[in-house]
Amino acid sequence: MNASSTAFELLLAMDQRCRARAASLPVEQDGEAPWSGISFRLGNGWYVAPMSEVAEVLPEPRMTRIPGTKPWVLGVANLRGRLLPVMNLSGYFGAALSSHRRQRRVLVIDHDDLFTGLLVDEAPGLQHFPRTDLAMVPPENLDEALAPFVRGYFFHEREWAVFSPFALVTATEFLDVAA
């Protein structure tokens, strides 16, 4: 390059050098985007909820108990000025929550007119799976009570059941919270 090169010529030369160096890099395959979900644990079972069905994940909030409700209804919390009913998901399925309170998380579900929180034993974060790895055959150890809310399985390092919070919060039994 000489001193009389225009800005356009400099940019063109820079582009050519970048393209030449990038030729040796691996090419990204044009394929389907991976399936992504929020992972969580209930007892010894690991689950993933579709990202589109979980509005946010929170640490266990302070709650006010609601009299006359079933034992798995933990209470109501104030989430930025909005009342969030919090349900013990393990309790709903007849199990106990983990004693490790620091790990517990609330999956916030905001579906149509339903706004609720599902307390789980822990929620370590996002999981990504190839969509082609989604299996529909249920594992042998799936709790029968969970089966109506499971939409498939991924088997990567462990068994992940795809749990649908939307299916749960629209179930008649879940909506019947009065004791």
Q: How far is residue 136's CA from residue 51's CA, in Å, rounded to a whole number?
A: 19
- 3 assigned to some structural domain: no
Asked whether 108 and 166 are in contact (CB, 8 A), the reply is: no
> Is 19 a domain residue?
no
Tell me what the mean pLDDT of segment 19-26 comes to: 72
Burial of 134 (0-12, 13-18, 19+ CB in 10 A): middle
What does the pLDDT average to over 39-45?
93
Q: How confident is the model at residue 1 (pLDDT cuts 50, 70, 90)?
A: low
Predicted pLDDT at 9? 84
For residue 10, is it within any domain?
Answer: no
* 25 lies in some domain: no
Which backbone phi and psi does 151 adopt, to 5 degrees? -115, 15
Q: Where residue 58 sits, what CATH number does that domain have?
A: 2.40.50.180
Backbone phi, psi, residue 106, to 5°: -110, 125
Residue 21 pLDDT: 79
Question: Is there a domain that residue 4 lies in?
Answer: no
Given a cut of 60, whether residue 160 has pLDDT beyond it is: yes
pLDDT computed for residue 28 by the predictor: 55
Structural domain that includes position 74: 35-175
Instruction: Look at residue 79 and tell me if it is in a domain.
Output: yes
For residue 66, the model assigns a pLDDT of 95
Residue 122: pLDDT band by 50, 70, 90 thresholds? very high
Tell if the pTM clears 0.75, that is, is over it: yes
Return the minimum-mean-pLDDT range out of 12-16, 25-29, 97-101, 127-131. Answer: 25-29
For CA atoms 166, 169, 172, 174, give the dihedral sign: positive
Residue 39 lies in a domain: yes
What is the DSSP-derived secondary structure letter of residue 69?
Answer: B
Task: Let me know if residue 127 belongs to a domain.
Answer: yes
SS3 31: coil
Can you give the three-state secondary structure of 124-175, one letter per residue?
Answer: EEEEEECHHHCECCCCCCCCCCCHHHEEEEEEECEEEEEECHHHHHCCHHHH
Q: How many domains, the chain?
A: 1
Grade residue 125 by pLDDT with cuts at 50, 70 and 90. Answer: very high
The string of pLDDT tens digits covering residues 65-85 is 999 999 999 999 999 999 999
CA distance 66 to 121: 22
Average the pLDDT over 11-39 and give the result. Answer: 79
